[in-house]
Amino acid sequence: MVTRAFTGRPARALRNRFTDTYGPHAPLAYPAVHHLTAPIRAAAAARGDAESINLWAGTGYAAARPGPAGVILRTLAGCN
């Protein structure tokens, strides 16, 4: 999805509770929104709360496949 919830400017991110709650109401106000949400994002990261942190995603995120990190990295590196 594309949201302004975390920074105040459009960015592609994975959908979570934060984007659902604040995305529809987020003003186009970079960098003010970025600075306002920084403490929220930092606290969420510290407690491992993926529902309240920015989960940036490029255009290829849909091609990602689940699996153990080590296996995925070896595959990407061509070591399988």
* Per-residue pLDDT, 6: 96
What is the Cα–Cα distance from 30 to 6, expressed in whole angstroms? 9
pLDDT digits (tens, 9 = 90+) for 2-26: 999 999 999 999 999 999 999 999 9
* Per-residue pLDDT, 29: 95
Residue 58 pLDDT class (50, 70, 90 cuts): confident
Do 40 and 22 meet the contact criterion of CB atoms below 8 Å apart?
no
pLDDT digits (tens, 9 = 90+) for 60-80: 877 888 999 999 889 889 886
Domain boundaries, the chain: 2-76
> For 9-17, which contacts have Cβ atoms below 8 Å and span 24 or more sequence positions?
11/54, 11/56, 12/56, 12/57, 12/58, 12/59, 12/61, 13/54, 13/55, 13/56, 13/57, 14/55, 14/56, 14/57, 14/61, 16/50, 16/51, 16/52, 16/53, 16/55, 17/51, 17/52
pLDDT digits (tens, 9 = 90+) for 17-57: 999 999 999 999 999 999 999 999 999 999 999 999 999 98
